[in-house]
């Protein structure tokens, strides 16, 4: 279609992330063409206005802040062949800029406009934020990919193990089972871990298998009670989670790669909030293959959507590390008892910046 046969709307938006990893969003009140919901600060460019000037104007109108506009980090467009109401075909071109706050305070300044209010929303809350416009996801992805830390490193993604890296069972597995089995706890656990292997790859139901083994050992406590007390007794390692947040802030994709059967995996996804924290979650029961099989890492790379050579894998198990390397990933062995300074050193060896590098906005 020739450009003279359709109408064009040019719009400019700002990505503003503060020192607390919060994204500035505005609430669109909705109209006859679009429903109400969260969106990026920004909007249509006026006839005699440059794109950066439009960003400055829109941000102060919708959020109350004055900003310094940086480079454009993404462009996006969509078309409507039949917009309705006897309108011509329509093309919307959206340009997204990085921006930094220079003054003002939170509060919408436009009167009778399309914005009801503005809010700072944690980046970790964006995946579950509803309703939200597609421009938010486009902008966040572009912002992460534009961070200097990523540009300077061949590694663009981190794949992290869970147990021993991100989380721990306080006191250990043996101590957790001793109230039920005493000095037989070790033998029981090694037996049930063997029984569990097919379930780690998504084959079968672990709960009746665990119940049968408990019964064989003379445990009368209901299986659900034992499972909740032991398998779900997970302590998140806050310093590890802090590094995850910094990595995401610095523009890396950060993903989870863990061997779990579906009950414990489901608990981690929801109760621990891992689905919201990580960009992509690779649970063995979901992939249909478990570590250290290199096929696990091949599937994980496909799910992440990246070449294996751009992914750095961290795990506390040497065999898992070797499996990742065989699949083409970079990989390092580490567990939280070694201290997080060592983890940062291992990441740095691969050019990964896991300390805060983004310039903090001034208010």
pTM, entire model: 0.62
- Residues 29, 20, 311: CA angle, nearest 5 degrees: 100
Task: Compute the distance between CA of residue 33 and CA of residue 26 in angstroms, rounded to an integer.
Answer: 18
* Residues 196 and 274 placed together within one structural domain of the fold: no
* Residues 305 and 206 placed together within one structural domain of the fold: no
Averaged over 119-135, what is the pLDDT? Answer: 94
* Residues 160 and 142 placed together within one structural domain of the fold: no
Averaged over 299-320, what is the pLDDT? Answer: 96
Q: What is the pLDDT, as a whole number, of residue 6?
A: 86
Lowest mean pLDDT among 144-148, 222-226, 280-284, 358-362: 358-362
Q: Any long-range contacts for 88-93 (C-beta under 8 Å, 24+ apart)?
A: 88/5, 88/6, 88/7, 89/1, 89/5, 89/6, 89/7, 90/6, 90/7, 90/8, 90/9, 91/6, 91/7, 91/8, 91/9, 92/8, 92/9, 92/11, 93/8, 93/9, 93/10, 93/11
* Residues 256 and 218 placed together within one structural domain of the fold: no
Residue 357 counted as domain residue: no
* Residues 205 and 186 placed together within one structural domain of the fold: yes
Interacting residues of 180 by C-beta distance below 8 A, sequence separation 6+: 214, 219, 221, 226
- Residues 68, 73, 79: CA angle, nearest 5 degrees: 115
pLDDT at 355 over 80: no
* Residues 193 and 241 placed together within one structural domain of the fold: no
Q: What is the pLDDT, as a whole number, of residue 150?
A: 63
* Residues 310 and 255 placed together within one structural domain of the fold: yes
Report yes or no: 43 and 56 within 8 Å, Cβ to Cβ: no
* Residues 179 and 300 placed together within one structural domain of the fold: no
In the chain, the number of structural domains is 3
Averaged over 217-230, what is the pLDDT? Answer: 98
Report yes or no: 247 and 267 within 8 Å, Cβ to Cβ: no
* Residues 282 and 160 placed together within one structural domain of the fold: yes
Q: What is the pLDDT, as a whole number, of residue 124?
A: 87
Q: What is the pLDDT of residues 241-282, one digit of tens each?
A: 999 999 998 889 999 999 999 999 999 999 999 999 999 999
Report yes or no: 359 and 347 within 8 Å, Cβ to Cβ: no
Residue 25 counted as domain residue: yes
* Residues 273 and 226 placed together within one structural domain of the fold: no
Using pLDDT thresholds of 50, 70 and 90, give the confidence band for residue 165.
Answer: very high
Residue 356 counted as domain residue: no
Write out the residue range of the structural domain in which residue 195 sits. Answer: 170-230
Report yes or no: 51 and 45 within 8 Å, Cβ to Cβ: yes
Q: What is the pLDDT, as a whole number, of residue 363?
A: 23
Q: Which of 197, 205, 173, 159 is nearest to 330 (CA)?
A: 159
Q: Which of 1, 140, 9, 3 is nearest to 78 (CA)?
A: 9
Averaged over 149-154, what is the pLDDT? Answer: 66
pLDDT at 67 over 50: yes
């Amino acid at each position: 279609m020739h450009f003279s046969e359709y109408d064009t709307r040019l719009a400019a938006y700002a990505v503003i992330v503060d020192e607390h990893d919060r994204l500035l969003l505005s609430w669109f009140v909705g109209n006859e063409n679009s429903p109400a919901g969260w969106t990026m600060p920004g909007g249509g460019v006026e006839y005699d206005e440059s794109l950066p000037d439009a960003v400055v104007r829109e941000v102060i109108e919708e959020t109350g802040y004055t900003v310094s506009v940086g480079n454009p980090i993404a462009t996006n467009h969509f078309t409507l062949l039949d917009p309705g109401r006897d309108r011509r075909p329509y093309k919307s071109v959206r340009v997204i800029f990085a921006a930094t706050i220079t003054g003002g305070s939170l509060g919408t300044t436009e009167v009778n406009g399309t914005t009801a209010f503005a809010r700072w929303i944690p980046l970790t809350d964006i995946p579950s934020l509803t309703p939200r416009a597609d421009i938010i996801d486009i902008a966040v992805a572009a912002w992460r990919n534009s961070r200097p830390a990523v540009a300077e490193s061949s590694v663009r993604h981190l794949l992290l193990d869970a147990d021993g890296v991100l989380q721990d069972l306080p006191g250990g597995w043996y101590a957790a089972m001793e109230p039920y089995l005493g000095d037989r706890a070790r033998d029981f656990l090694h037996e049930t871990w063997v029984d569990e292997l097919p379930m780690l790859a998504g084959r079968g139901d672990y709960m009746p298998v665990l119940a049968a083994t408990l019964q064989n050992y003379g445990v009368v406590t209901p299986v659900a009670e034992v499972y909740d007390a032991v398998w779900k007794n997970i302590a998140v390692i806050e310093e590890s989670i802090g590094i995850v947040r910094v990595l995401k802030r610095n523009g890396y994709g950060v993903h989870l790669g863990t061997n779990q059967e579906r009950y414990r995996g489901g608990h981690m996804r929801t109760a621990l909030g891992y689905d919201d924290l990580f960009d992509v979650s690779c649970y063995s029961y979901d992939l249909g293959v478990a570590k250290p099989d290199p096929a696990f890492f091949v599937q994980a790379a496909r799910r992440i959507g990246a070449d294996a050579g751009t992914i750095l894998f961290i795990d506390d198990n040497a065999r898992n590390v070797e499996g990742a390397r065989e699949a083409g990933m970079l990989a390092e062995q580490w567990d939280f008892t070694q201290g997080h300074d060592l983890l940062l050193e291992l990441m740095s060896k691969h050019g990964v910046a896991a300390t805060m590098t983004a310039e903090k906005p001034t208010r």
